[in-house]
């Protein structure tokens, strides 16, 4: 099966080795006999709501975010329609911020967002940096841990009723106060965790692939065959161990 991926702004939003996430998805798909076809989508490029099974938006600094923000905001209808139609999506750091209503800087300036996630981000005075450990429940009754690294000055404030990606066990998360990290809408996930995220969390890569495959086939999502993930599990243990050294939620 061919899995069609729309990678938005790869030339702008790749500050945190975000292409590593694409590499993991491609390899894990290939090991199950599937092909990941990646379509780079730049400023002004076409984005049809039904053209991709998975959308990916990486992270960037304020300058790069400002460069693509108006274009991304203009794609809001197409992105929301794609997710409503069952496409999976992963947005990391700056991409996560700009898939909300937008980002307000300390000077009062506002970068518009695509409006997929029910949140708004405001610039903080200090950066929140370090390893993070989350508890997630993407499937009912199945709690999993997610490890990553955060480095952001923005405080992302979820609307009442918005669903976070996970609960912060160690680290700062969205705003350093709420105890939540990331946001979820159907099969769309946004998070501050990078470094990149998927090499140390193979279960999340498979969760995204399963939903992308379901979109590609038009059938119900099914679990992928297990892979020998000893190295990936060791990478997770190291990252989770560093997060635990940080102590409790801050």
Segment 48-72, tens digit of pLDDT: 999 999 999 999 888 888 899 999 9
- Whether 237 is covered by a domain: the verdict is yes
The parent domain of residue 104 ranges over: 2-245
Mean pLDDT of 151-171: 97
pLDDT tier for residue 248 given thresholds of 50, 70 and 90: low
Q: Could you give the number of structural domains in the chain?
A: 1
Average pLDDT for 138-152? 96
Any idea what the CATH number is for the domain that residue 109 is in? 3.40.50.880
Q: Which residue bears the tokens 């700009």?
A: 98
In a domain, 39, yes or no: yes
Q: Is 145 among the domain residues?
A: yes
In a domain, 120, yes or no: yes
Residue 250 placed within a domain: no
Residue 85 counted as domain residue: yes
Q: How far apart are CA 58 and CA 92, in angstroms?
A: 5
pLDDT bin (cut points 50, 70, 90) of residue 195 is confident
> Catalytic amino acids?
93, 194
Q: Quick one: DSSP state of residue 75?
A: T
């Amino acid at each position: 099966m061919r899995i069609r991926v729309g990678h938005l702004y790869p030339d702008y939003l790749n500050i945190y080795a975000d292409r590593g996430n694409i590499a993991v998805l491609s390899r894990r798909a290939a090991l199950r006999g599937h092909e990941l076809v990646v379509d780079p989508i730049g400023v002004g490029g076409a984005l049809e709501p039904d053209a991709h099974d998975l959308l990916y938006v990486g992270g960037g600094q304020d300058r790069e975010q400002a460069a693509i923000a108006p274009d991304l905001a203009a794609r809001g209808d197409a992105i929301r329609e794609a997710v409503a139609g069952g496409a999976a999506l992963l947005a990391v750091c700056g991409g996560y911020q700009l898939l909300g209503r937008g980002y307000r800087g300390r000077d009062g300036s506002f970068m518009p967002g695509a409006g997929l996630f029910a949140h708004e981000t405001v610039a903080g005075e200090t950066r929140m940096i370090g390893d993070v450990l989350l508890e997630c429940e993407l499937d009912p009754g199945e709690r999993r841990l997610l490890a990553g690294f955060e480095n952001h000055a923005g405080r992302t404030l979820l609307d009442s009723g918005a669903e976070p990606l996970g609960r912060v066990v160690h680290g700062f998360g969205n705003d350093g106060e709420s105890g939540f990290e990331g946001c979820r809408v159907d099969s769309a996930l946004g998070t501050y965790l990078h470094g990149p995220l998927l090499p140390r969390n193979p279960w999340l890569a498979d969760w995204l692939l399963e939903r992308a495959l379901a979109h590609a086939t038009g059938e119900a999502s099914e679990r992928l065959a297990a892979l020998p993930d000893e190295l990936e599990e060791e990478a997770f243990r190291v990252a989770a161990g560093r997060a635990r050294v940080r102590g409790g939620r801050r």
